[in-house]
Structure 1
């Protein structure tokens, strides 16, 4: 436990959370508690690709981008910027060597890191805080630092708002956003299943919008579905946020945009196989998680090692996902 005197005297806080999209979103309630409870101004060091997103986070006063493509030059540039300021408190929410190094080189009065830090990151902290229990949602793990500072742990608020997006077609139709991509191959629900779902929703009069990254491999069954809006790879992060903000429902693999949608208060159907919904499922109420949940799940592996194949997601039928989507669209939030 950090003394309450530290919290009372803290006026300027540096957050070091470099990636990924979902993790950044999950950290936002912690930022809200620090901003309101201390109160303090918040500076956030983040990988440059995510900096545009944080500029739409109401509780972040300053964003310092880190160029991960040129790590040594990027580290030097970040440290040079940070040392122009004086931080009362530096918090590493990542718990890895690089983030811990940045945290300590910022020369804050007090440097805190998570108890579950890896890669010798703990060497750079003045103190480690929180429980090592990882069987909690990421949102709750990040809030450990708020409890350690004896700051009030209030409502889980995600203060994000993006420019409005209006469909080019009939704006009266329900909008369902599909996110068929993911960073791990093992997280991918088959593209053919997404295509079948998209076609069934389209025939019901739903405006189907595809977002996210391109799918691996050559053939893309979704490209053959007529009457849907394919925006994959064509949106910035703020534009993606605006689309998700407008959606009536999101159907997604376990990926960063899925967590962004949940944070924006949109209802989500999360298709999960190798990961644990209790740790990284869509946060909040009104969502549904679908998976066949075989004995090997969750495996937390980027590559499926089951001799029978990726049954956690391959055996999840489009008809089941469609029925869940239809039920949610017909049920008021």
Structure 2
């Protein structure tokens, strides 16, 4: 079976889509799975071996250039043949791509926007929790129309690049990786500098690593040996491997949070105005995935003491598990 997944962006949305693609692979080992993605995120899809078909890239651009980029993708898809197209994005541009694709089955999602559902001939229903369901739970509803079970099976495999060339300290045990940024300041907790100082004082064996596509000022540390600031220094493939090494990942609602969860790493997620039920680390019932919701959705009311206590509670358990392994 030849399948096309249309999920151009964003990083977190793509990461949440990969486990569903892995479920397809597990249930249809011979499937050829292709993907439409923005060029800036293509390397993530390319690093997942379950995507074994064509990766169709396009450059995101405003105005007329963006329209031309979408038109080129549509032209490419008219020349291909698929057994099914899965519009995971549910927006106008993905609807146009779905409409252009040559396939007898075109699946969209019930809460699609901008008229994209009219390009589909089958609409995947929402899970029992409706629009408040987790993004991955929604995407799993695409599987029954393919004759597959709507559940996850094996973990996602993503191949990263070693980050060792960035700093030799990244080989240490008991790494705590912190992701201080998110998409939008309203989703960014501002206590990471203080948390880093307090965690290094409370746990003399851990090393804290910051990673972000935006620069963040170092915390005021007297001893900087156990702190590594990789902001604006690492690539996405290096981030994959860094997260894989982490004993704990502390992050806002962001793409790296979902990447860490997909890699099976322990996560401490900090949520403010967005819903952890919809956008938290998946699966939410997994003990390694813990979420702190700010009072009234206001991240300024989430105290450093609360986050520090949760991190210290998770670290000993993770260290014990790693030692046992």
TM-score, structure 2 length as denominator?
Answer: 0.86
How far apart, CA to CA, are the structure 2 residues paired with 1:184 and 1:248? Answer: 27
Shift of 1:223: 5.2
* TM-aligned CA distance change 1:221 to 1:77, over 3 Å: same
Shift of 1:236: 1.5
How far apart, CA to CA, are the structure 2 residues paired with 1:169 and 1:131? Answer: 45
> What SS does structure 2 have at the residue aligned with 1:117?
coil
> What SS does structure 2 have at the residue aligned with 1:330?
helix
How far apart, CA to CA, are the structure 2 residues paired with 1:291 and 1:115? Answer: 28
Q: In structure 2, which of residues 9, 19, 43 is the aligned counterpart of residue 52 of structure 1?
A: 43
How far apart, CA to CA, are the structure 2 residues paired with 1:63 and 1:207? Answer: 37
The equivalent of 2:294 in structure 1 is: 292
How far apart, CA to CA, are the structure 1 residues paired with 2:240 and 2:156? Answer: 13
Which segment drifts farther, 103-112 or 48-57? 103-112
Would the aligned equivalents of 2:79 and 2:102 in 1 still touch at CA under 8 Å? no
Would the aligned equivalents of 1:66 and 1:74 in 2 still touch at CA under 8 Å? yes
The equivalent of 1:31 in structure 2 is: 21
The equivalent of 1:115 in structure 2 is: 110
Would the aligned equivalents of 1:28 and 1:159 in 2 still touch at CA under 8 Å? no
The equivalent of 1:140 in structure 2 is: 137
Q: In structure 2, which of residues 67, 76, 79 is the aligned counterpart of residue 81 of structure 1?
A: 76
TM-score, structure 1 length as denominator?
Answer: 0.84
* TM-aligned CA distance change 1:171 to 1:124, over 3 Å: closer
Shift of 1:106: 1.6
Shift of 1:127: 2.0
Give yes or no for the alignment of 1:63 onto 2:55: yes
How far apart, CA to CA, are the structure 1 residues paired with 2:94 and 2:293? Answer: 34
- Superposed CA RMSD in Å reads 1.9
Unmatched 5+ residue regions in structure 1?
1-10, 298-311
Q: How many residues align?
A: 301
How far apart, CA to CA, are the structure 2 residues paired with 1:150 and 1:135? Answer: 25
Give yes or no for the alignment of 1:323 onto 2:309: yes
How far apart, CA to CA, are the structure 2 residues paired with 1:314 and 1:232? Answer: 22
Unmatched 5+ residue regions in structure 2?
none
> What SS does structure 1 have at the residue aligned with 2:4?
strand
Shift of 1:169: 2.3
How far apart, CA to CA, are the structure 2 residues paired with 1:254 and 1:245? Answer: 18
How far apart, CA to CA, are the structure 1 residues paired with 2:314 and 2:4? Answer: 40
